[in-house]
Amino acid sequence: MMCPYCRSEELKTIETRDSKNNTVRRRRECISCGRRFTTYEYIEEIELMVKKKDGRLERFDIDKIIRGLQKACEKRPVTLEEMRDLAEKVRQELVDQGREEISSSEVGDLIMRHLVKLDRVAYVRFASVYREFTEPNDFSKLLKEVKK
């Protein structure tokens, strides 16, 4: 690391703090010129890629999950914070698997596994879109699963 002012490599750390989102904030001072500056250290996370049904790859997007949950949870007693927590649990489980590529069906199944515990009506709504229901019997099969 170099001083952004004089390019010296002689630095000392004055203060270190944990910051939001797994970052570390460090206040530093250059021994050569005496000026102070702040640096932030970030944990480099695995870039998750989602393989779609048609074979395309796209970046994992937690906001896309939250939008889907908002539609499924519309007019249900589920808070935005609960939806965000669910989406973060899904993201963390995927990261914990250590894989860089995951199928969209695995993501959907994981969402549904958590959503059924949060709100069963929202679960049925989400499942009807995710599983592409075309017949009323599709709903009755799912409702039998939910009642178990």
Residues 35 and 61 in one domain: no
Residues 82 and 134 in one domain: yes
Query: Is residue 33 in some structural domain?
Result: yes
For residue 46, pLDDT beyond 80: no
Residues 97 and 115 in one domain: yes
Please give the model's pTM, rounded to 2 decimal places. Answer: 0.65
Kindly write down the DSSP assignment for every residue of 40-56, as one continuous string.
EEEPPPP--EEE-TTS-
Number of structural domains found in the chain: 2
Segments in 60-135 forming alpha helices (H): 62-72, 80-96, 104-118, 120-130
Query: Is residue 99 in some structural domain?
Result: yes
CA distance 109 to 76: 21
Query: Is residue 31 in some structural domain?
Result: yes
Residues 23 and 93 in one domain: no
Q: What domain range includes position 16? A: 11-42
Query: Is residue 87 in some structural domain?
Result: yes
* Number of other residues whose CB lies within 10 A of the CB of residue 63: 9
Query: Is residue 88 in some structural domain?
Result: yes
pLDDT tens column, 105-121 = 999 999 999 999 999 89
What does the pLDDT read at residue 8? 96
Query: Is residue 24 in some structural domain?
Result: yes
Structure tokens at 146: 């939910």
